[in-house]
Every structure is written in C-alpha cells, then in structure tokens.
Structure 1
Amino acid sequence: MKLAPIALFVYNRPDHARKTLESLVVNSGFTDSLLYVFCDGAKSKKDMESVRLTRELIHSYKLENIIVIENEFNKGLAKSIVDGVNHILQNHDRIIVLEDDCVTSPDFLHFMNVCLSNYELDERIMNVSGYAPPIEMPGDYPYDIYFSYRFSSWGWGTWRRAWKYYSNDPRILETIDSSNSMKKKVDLAGLDLYSMLKRQINGKINSWAVFWAINIIMHDGFSINPVKSRIMNIGHDGSGTHCSPDERYNVQINGQNSEKISFPETVIPDRRIVKAYQAFHTGSSFKKILHVCYHKYGKFVDSFIK
C-alpha cells in the first residue's frame, strides 16, 4: 500500500503540538511515512516565545523521516495550509493533513492510507476525513465509512487530482446565488455552510476550509468520513485561532488498530446519515432560521451567527 506524506501545521501551542505528535508517532506506518512540519512565524512580539517553544519541541523529536519548514513571517493558518498542501502535491500525488490540535487514534494513518488507496481512481471521492462528528448512526448500517457532502478539516487527506479544483475565488458566491439547485446542494452539507462562505467573502472570518468544502460540492464530489472517529480535536479550549470553547464536537476516538475496513459497494450517500449530519451542522432551530434568512438578508443576521 502506498503511504501518503503527512503535513503537520504548527504555530504557538507547544502543549497541543506535543499531544498531536505523541499520538502520531505511535501510528502503524508512521516511520515509513514522510512528515513535513510547517511552522508559521510569529504574528506579534507576544507570540514569539510560544512560537520558539513550539519549534524547539518539533526539533526535539529526532526523527529520520521529518522535514521542518519554518516561516520567517506570519502567513496565518489559511495561507499556511494552502501553500503547504500545494508544496507537497507538487511532488506527491496524495497527502494527509493535520493541525496541531488533532490527536489521532492508533490506526489513523492506516485508515487514511487505505481509503486514499482504495478510492485513488474514483474522481467522485475528493476527500478523506479522519474526524467524524458525534451523530447517531443507523443501527443497521454495516460499514466502517460513509459518504458525506461535507468534509472535516480535522485530520484529512486528498489527492492531487482532486486538489486541483481548490479555489478561493470570491465569485464562487455569485455562482451559488445564481443557481437554486446549487444552493440546495450546499445546504445538504448543513445550513451553516452558506453563511460561513458569505462571512468569509465579507471578511468576517479567514478560512481556507469553507472554500474546499464548497469546491467539493460544486464538482459533485463526496468526502469519506469514518463511522468511528480517528481524530479528537483538543483545540476547543479557547486556545485556537478559530475555535472558541465548545464541547459539542467531542468524540471518543477509535481505540483499536483496525486492520480491515469495510467499504460500501456503491458510492451513494445514505440519506439517513446525510440528514443527521446536516442537522448536526445546522444546529438549533433558532440558528436554522437565521441561516435560512442569511440567504436573503446577509449582514442583518451576521452578528447573530457565531
């Protein structure tokens, strides 16, 4: 089985980065995988010490398979990730991506590499996610993965053939607004996604992930999600750039080394799972109303959507 290179993005959280690395290095196949670590530069003087400590931590791991890339200036998370993924996919046909707050299960790399190999030629599949939200699965669902209209940026992978469609062109919003069918497709991934895109275009947030999510949908692609999450995000403690304290994303990660992965026979999303996934990301009934209104009134409800 072909092993994808791993890209790990770190900034100024040495304790989070340590937990992520500790979980990653015990993964089966890690020592045979190439690890790129991208260290962003300090945004301000107050971050310089924590950035230094994070880099010191990275260099303390005496790994033979590691390439450390240190930015002198601050790129920010969005540009760091897009530039890093582009850099790696110039020389490799697939990639696995982690941020510094993603603790992996012992079989995370195995799961990712098996999925990347199994669907490498299926252009309908554009992403493999390691994280899965805590939604209730149908009792009779027999497989280890499911197909989703939405990807998760917490431990994910893709191929060069799919990433070529990545675009952060703001005119993508005009394309969606001009097509009712496209709006419906986007809403299948959760009613919050459209408002996230609109906030991104309006400069309210800085996200690369919302563009990738929309690009996948616009190219009729799917993401693979695990039934049992292979990622636990530890960044919802208020320490992250884009993550405020929130427990609704907490999951129990798969604790066993699962050698065999059961795949569906056909690439068709299960409607029951799509509905549960959409409901999870849409949130409360009040928020649902706000997101629906956002399609029409935009800035009027912007201050209510966190």
Structure 2
Amino acid sequence: MNEAKPIAPVVFIIFNRPDLTESVFKEIARARPSKLFIIADGPRSDRANEAEKCAKTRQVVENIDWDCEVFRNYSELNLGCRKRISSGLDWVFSQTDRAIIVEDDCLPDPSFFPYCTELLEKYEDDERVGSINGSNFTHDRVMVEDSYFFSRYPLIWGWATWRRVWQNYDVSISRWGTLRENGWLNTVAYPDEFEHWIKAFNRVFEGGLDAWGYQFIFSQWLQRQISIQPQHNLISNLGFRADATHTLDASNVAELPRQGVEFPLRHPQVPATNFLADDIYMREHCYRKKKEKGLKRILRKIFPKR
C-alpha cells in the first residue's frame, strides 16, 4: 500500500451517536489526514436528551493527536439532513477542491482513504467522472480484474468528489419540473426504475423529503457523469438501528463486510459502465421493493387476515 502519499482532505459528518462516531473516527485518525472538516447538526428540540447526545458526539472528535488542520462547522439549531449536509458541503468546497466524505455510521476499511486519494488525483480533470464510491452492493457477484469499475450510481456511504462536481449541486433540483415533462429520465435511467426515481425526485422537488443524496444523483446524471466503484466493498454501514434518521428498516446492505483494496491500484483502460453491476443495483434497490409490495398485496387478497 502506498502509505507515504498524503491523504486528501477528509470530511466527517456527525450528529447524535457518540458510539458510532468514535468507531469511525478511529479509522480517520489511523489515516491521519492533514486537513479534517467536521460538520455537525444541532439537537432537535422535541427529542429528550438529544442535546446531551450531540454534545457527547462532538466531544469524541476533540482529541486530534496528529498534525492536522481542523475546520469545524457546527450548528446549534437542528437543520435536518437536507439543509445541514448540503450547506456543510457547500462550506467544505469553498475551501478545498477535493474531499473524502464519511458519515458517522459508515465504517471505512483503512484502504478506503488512500484509494480515494489516488483516484481523486487521477481523475481530477476528467469531466466524465463525478464521484468515487467506497461501497459495492453487488455482494461480489460481479468479478472484475481491475481495482475498480464504473457505475451510473453514486453511492454515498463513504465517497469522494471534487469542487468541479459539487458546484453543479442544486439542493432543490429546480430543473426537475421541466426535465420531468420532456423525457430527460429516459436518457439516464432504465424504464424499470422510472417509478422509483420519479417518486424520489418529486418528493425532493416538492420539499417533502428531508434528504440530500437524491439531489447528488440528479446532479451527476444531469452532467452525464459516472462513478467509480471499488472491486470489493470498503464501507460497512453500522447505522441500521432504532436511532437512525433514514436507515430504520432491515437491509441486505447493512453492516456489509469490508475487503481492503490492494495497492498498487490496477486501473481500467477506459471509463466504461459495468452494466451487470448496475443491473444488480437497479433491480435490488430501485425496482425490487415495488415488486415485493405488489406480491404482498396479492397474498393479502388470497390469504386475508382473520
């Protein structure tokens, strides 16, 4: 592993879970980035003891025992996922041209940081590439010889990107209203997933969804950009539990095992989308739920509850 190369700036997004924050922070500390940006939301006024939990979480990241320039952006009021993370990353990219981004429940493999650092440098001027994923949800059903491949899907459980990409981000996806009517989705998505993305983009556009990630997907697709995805999964999401904001339901991608990438990295010859990997993601995360719900409705008609 090329450990001598300085790690790119790291962004750590925290909130109210000191135990998870501590686990992830240990991996950041092991990587020893020279620049660390910490974004924290404030407590919700209607949640008992949340102010104390937020304070304890912030205390976890106070002890930085390596040579590091630290930037903190803490909100005393609760802004919610949509506003807090989007505004926090606006702040980050006003000060750096690239960053590795990790949330408090996304435990990275140690190789994640040098992997992102090398690829941020290699593709910094390649407008075809919009982001670098740490996650791989194929469960090793897609075999590739290179260290990574390319996908249409940005996966934001541990990821990296550049200012040149983030500057196109629009938290309100203001162009969706027009694009929805002119068939734009046909040019970037498969028909089987239209319902999923139309529903998601509509909810974001109408302000009914407290999320920021769908907007990043929208932005990257709008720029016709693809993502880098590692050969094996590098991130384990530990946040599927009762105190989560979004990851409350059981999932086949919760707490995935991590398998480190080997160095030197083996680079693909061309940035061509891996359609098999994308098909697996589409069917299991953008399509399958609809089919399962339909099956459940049929079964309820056949076997009604007594």
TM-score, normalised by the number of residues in structure 2:
0.85
Alignment partner of 1:144 out of 143, 147, 163: 147
Q: Return the alpha-carbon distance in structure 2 between the equivalents of residues 285 and 233 of structure 1.
A: 20
Whether 1:39 aligns to 2:40 is yes
Q: Return the alpha-carbon distance in structure 1 between the equivalents of residues 43 and 105 of structure 2.
A: 18
Q: Return the alpha-carbon distance in structure 2 between the equivalents of residues 289 and 177 of structure 1.
A: 25
More displaced 10-residue stretch of structure 1: 75-84 or 4-13: 75-84
> Structure 1 residues 146, 11: CA separation in 2 closer, same or farther (over 3 Å shift)?
same
Given that 1:129 and 1:153 are in contact with CA atoms closer than 8 Å, whether structure 2 keeps it comes out as yes
What is the match of residue 157 of structure 1?
160
> Structure 1 residues 117, 204: CA separation in 2 closer, same or farther (over 3 Å shift)?
same
Cα offset, 1:60, TM superposition: 3.7
Given that 2:172 and 2:205 are in contact with CA atoms closer than 8 Å, whether structure 1 keeps it comes out as no
After TM superposition, the structure 1 = structure 2 runs for residues 22-101 of structure 1, keeping only pairs within 5 Å, are 22-26=26-30, 30-44=31-45, 46=48, 47-65=50-68, 66-101=70-105
More displaced 10-residue stretch of structure 1: 176-185 or 48-57: 176-185
Alignment partner of 1:214 out of 212, 218, 224: 218
Given that 2:147 and 2:266 are in contact with CA atoms closer than 8 Å, whether structure 1 keeps it comes out as yes
What is the match of residue 21 of structure 1?
25
What is the match of residue 103 of structure 1?
107
CA deviations 1:105-144 (Å, max 9, x no partner) are 01110111111111111100011111121345334x2122
> Structure 1 residues 221, 289: CA separation in 2 closer, same or farther (over 3 Å shift)?
farther
Q: Return the alpha-carbon distance in structure 1 between the equivalents of residues 173 and 71 of structure 2.
A: 33
Percent identity (aligned): 22
Q: Return the alpha-carbon distance in structure 2 between the equivalents of residues 181 and 273 of structure 1.
A: 23
CA deviations 1:146-182 (Å, max 9, x no partner) are 1111111111111111111111234332233223353
Cα offset, 1:10, TM superposition: 0.7
Question: For structure 2, which runs of at least 5 residues remain unmatched after alignment?
Answer: 295-306
SS, match of residue 134 in structure 1: coil
> Structure 1 residues 153, 188: CA separation in 2 closer, same or farther (over 3 Å shift)?
farther
Whether 1:180 aligns to 2:186 is no
CA deviations 1:55-101 (Å, max 9, x no partner) are 12222444441333322222222222222222121221101111110
Given that 1:42 and 1:48 are in contact with CA atoms closer than 8 Å, whether structure 2 keeps it comes out as yes
Whether 1:274 aligns to 2:275 is no
Q: Return the alpha-carbon distance in structure 1 between the equivalents of residues 58 and 33 of structure 2.
A: 23
What is the match of residue 127 of structure 2?
123
SS, match of residue 37 in structure 2: strand
Given that 1:4 and 1:113 are in contact with CA atoms closer than 8 Å, whether structure 2 keeps it comes out as yes
What is the match of residue 299 of structure 2?
none
Given that 2:82 and 2:210 are in contact with CA atoms closer than 8 Å, whether structure 1 keeps it comes out as yes
What is the match of residue 253 of structure 1?
258
SS, match of residue 284 in structure 1: helix
Aligned-pair Cα RMSD in Å: 2.3
Q: Return the alpha-carbon distance in structure 1 between the equivalents of residues 112 and 192 of structure 2.
A: 24
Q: How many residues align?
A: 285
> Structure 1 residues 33, 288: CA separation in 2 closer, same or farther (over 3 Å shift)?
farther
What is the match of residue 299 of structure 1?
none
SS, match of residue 186 in structure 1: coil
> Structure 1 residues 285, 209: CA separation in 2 closer, same or farther (over 3 Å shift)?
closer
Q: Return the alpha-carbon distance in structure 2 between the equivalents of residues 2 and 163 of structure 1.
A: 23
Alignment partner of 2:241 out of 208, 213, 237: 237
Given that 2:8 and 2:33 are in contact with CA atoms closer than 8 Å, whether structure 1 keeps it comes out as no
Q: Return the alpha-carbon distance in structure 2 between the equivalents of residues 137 and 115 of structure 1.
A: 24
Q: Return the alpha-carbon distance in structure 2 between the equivalents of residues 227 and 280 of structure 1.
A: 19
Cα offset, 1:236, TM superposition: 1.1
Q: Return the alpha-carbon distance in structure 2 between the equivalents of residues 257 and 150 of structure 1.
A: 20
Cα offset, 1:201, TM superposition: 2.5
Q: Return the alpha-carbon distance in structure 1 between the equivalents of residues 192 and 121 of structure 2.
A: 25
TM-score, normalised by the number of residues in structure 1:
0.85
Given that 1:187 and 1:193 are in contact with CA atoms closer than 8 Å, whether structure 2 keeps it comes out as no
Q: Return the alpha-carbon distance in structure 2 between the equivalents of residues 244 and 163 of structure 1.
A: 28
